Amino acid sequence: MKRRVVVALRPVSPVERLLKVGASLCRRMDAELEVLADPTRPDWAAIESRLDAMENEGVTCRLTPAPGLDARHVVEHARRHECVASVVVGRPAAWAGEGADPWARLECPLVAASDHPDLPKEQ
């Protein structure tokens, strides 16, 4: 079973930044990339195109529809798939409206891809 890096996209997530971080992790860990996103996103086709380009660059990708995506859904998805080696999100605190610590049950590393002080804050 091949390892997998999951990138979870909220409607306001910095998509390109998260995909770059996810692809970089995949290359280092020899893993596949799975993107969870709500299929009603207006940029769904652009995400598909970007993943196709990443495939051409050697990263195995899949886009998984996740209607109403929230932290609980991401954590449960990761727990159901033992091959998930890491979860990438923009700013973990931006999901905080969903409870005290929605990531507490996550059994793999959580990567915050946009918490760097030089990057705009994800709301």
Q: Is residue 122 part of a domain?
A: no
Check residue 91 and give its pLDDT.
84
Q: Could you list the residue range(s) of the whole structural domain that residue 26 is in? A: 4-111
CATH code of 52's domain: 3.40.50.620
Check residue 12 and give its pLDDT.
84
Q: Is residue 36 part of a domain?
A: yes
The one-digit pLDDT tens for each residue of the chain (123 residues) are: 799 999 999 988 889 999 999 999 999 999 999 999 999 999 999 999 999 999 999 999 999 999 999 999 999 999 999 999 999 998 888 776 655 678 888 999 999 887 555 555 554
Q: Is residue 118 part of a domain?
A: no
Q: Is residue 82 part of a domain?
A: yes
Q: Is residue 55 part of a domain?
A: yes
**Number of domains within the chain:** 1
Give burial (CB, 10 Å; 0-12/13-18/19+) of 17: middle
Check residue 117 and give its pLDDT.
55
Q: Is residue 117 part of a domain?
A: no
Q: Is residue 116 part of a domain?
A: no
DSSP state of 34: E
